[in-house]
């Protein structure tokens, strides 16, 4: 695969192998994503990715998941006082530039983080139990399972992306087959 894989010591420093295997064996659309070491600004999470090929599909996915977008006010400056992009510019959805990224949302009472970019909707679940977005818990795993059921109910499985298995942070049979050998 040619990935710069994470060390097994790092992968299993928070949870034993059998625990992570339990999670990954039960998730159909989601995956456990391990943070790429301590210096990362992102922590561990469960993630589900959706692909869309046009704005119509994007809106369909968002509507089925009951994700509401906020319009960026017209009176927001395009640059800040230092000449860099304004915060609102960085939060624009590239395919819907009048709207800002959803970020921290709830899908059917499931707290998650949503980011839309380049034909993909990312849903990241972490911090459900205690607000710590750097570590996952069993509550996050159960929320990911609930979200998978919503995906089935809302007939969104055809939009699921498996591109994340190409990431060395994705702990899966495809990325780390050696962890699943008996």
Q: Which residues contact 17 (CB under 8 A, 6 or more apart)?
A: 179
Query: pLDDT > 70: what percent of the chain?
Result: 88
52 domain-assigned: yes
Above pLDDT 90, what percent of the chain?
71
DSSP 3-state percent helix, strand, coil across the chain (nearest 5): 30, 25, 45
Determine the Cα–Cα distance for residues 38 and 41; give it in Å rounded to an integer: 8
99 inside domain = yes
Query: How many Å separate Cα 60 from the centre of its chain?
Result: 18
Domain contains 3: no
Residue 50 placed within a domain: yes
Number of domains in the chain: 1
Question: What is d(CA 61, CA 98) in angstroms, rounded to the nearest whole number?
Answer: 18
Residue 150's domain comprises 8-69+80-179
Q: How confident is the model at residue 73 (pLDDT cuts 50, 70, 90)?
A: confident
Domain contains 1: no
pLDDT score at 74: 79
In the predicted model, what is the mean pLDDT of residues 63-69? 96
Question: What's the whole-model pTM score?
Answer: 0.88
Q: Does position 109 have pLDDT exceeding 90, yes or no? A: yes
Query: How do residues 121-167 score in pLDDT, each as one tens digit?
Result: 999 999 999 988 888 999 999 999 999 999 999 999 999 999 888 89
- Specify the pLDDT at position 38: 60
CA 115 to chain centre: 8
Q: Average model confidence (pLDDT) for the chain?
A: 89
pLDDT of residue 1: 46
Extract the runs of DSSP E, i.e. beta strands, from the chain: 31-33, 45-51, 70-71, 92-93, 96-100, 103-107, 110-117, 120-125, 160-161, 170-171
For residue range 116-130, list pLDDT tens digits in order.
999 999 999 999 999
């Amino acid at each position: 695969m040619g990935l710069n894989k994470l060390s097994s010591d790092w992968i299993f420093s928070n949870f034993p192998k059998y625990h992570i295997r339990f999670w990954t064996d039960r998730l159909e659309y989601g995956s456990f994503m391990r943070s790429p070491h301590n210096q990362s600004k992102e922590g561990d999470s469960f993630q589900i990715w959706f692909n869309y090929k046009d704005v119509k599909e994007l809106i369909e996915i968002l509507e089925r998941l009951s994700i509401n977008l906020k319009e960026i006010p017209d009176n927001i400056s395009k640059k800040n006082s230092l000449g860099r992009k304004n915060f609102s510019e960085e939060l624009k959805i590239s395919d819907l530039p009048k709207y800002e990224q959803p970020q921290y949302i709830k899908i059917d009472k499931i707290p998650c983080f949503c980011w839309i970019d380049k034909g993909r909707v990312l849903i990241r679940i972490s911090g459900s139990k205690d607000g710590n977005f750097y570590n996952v818990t069993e509550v996050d795993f159960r929320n990911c399972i609930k979200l998978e059921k919503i995906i089935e109910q809302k007939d969104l499985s055809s939009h699921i992306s498996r591109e994340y298995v190409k990431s060395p942070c994705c702990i899966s049979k495809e990325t780390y087959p050696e962890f699943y050998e008996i």
